[in-house]
Amino acid sequence: MARFKRLTWDDLDKIPRNELLPRLEAEQQYWARKAQSGMTEADQEARKEFSDILIAAINPGKLVQGLEETASRLKGERSRPSEYWTETPGSHELSGDRRRLREGSAISARPDTGRHLSSGP
């Protein structure tokens, strides 16, 4: 199996979602295999970072908006396709806690508090 290149926060500013998807899938498979064989504390931290990158890349709020735009286009209500898959997700869309984690601020690692990465209504 070919080795993959781990994703970084900078990749979110440079690579469109349609090009990120295969890399997200490859890294997700890597972490699934790694979890079965045992992970060190460093591995667990790296996997947590990947999870944060994955959420920022997919951005559920933007995904819903993209699906709505696609549905509108299929109904003939919109002339342009959604730009969801061709835009770069950008690390700027992170929630406050995730942004602080990315920037290295010391905050406790805890599950998401229900806030999401949506860019708005």
CA distance 52 to 46: 10
- Let me know if residue 98 belongs to a domain: yes
- Let me know if residue 39 belongs to a domain: yes
CA distance 50 to 74: 34
- Let me know if residue 119 belongs to a domain: no
Q: Whole-model pTM? A: 0.69
- Let me know if residue 116 belongs to a domain: no
State which residues form the domain around 62: 9-103
pLDDT above 70 (res 9): yes
Per-residue confidence (pLDDT) for residue 5, from 0 to 100: 86
pLDDT in tens, 21-79: 999 999 999 999 999 999 999 999 999 999 999 999 999 889 999 999 999 999 999 99
Q: How many structural domains are present in the chain?
A: 1
pLDDT in tens, 73-113: 999 999 988 998 899 998 665 545 455 455 553 333 333 33
Number of residues written out for the chain: 121
Contacts of residue 81, Cβ cutoff 8 Å, sequence gap at least 6: 69, 70, 73
Helices and strands, number each (H, E), in the chain? 5, 0
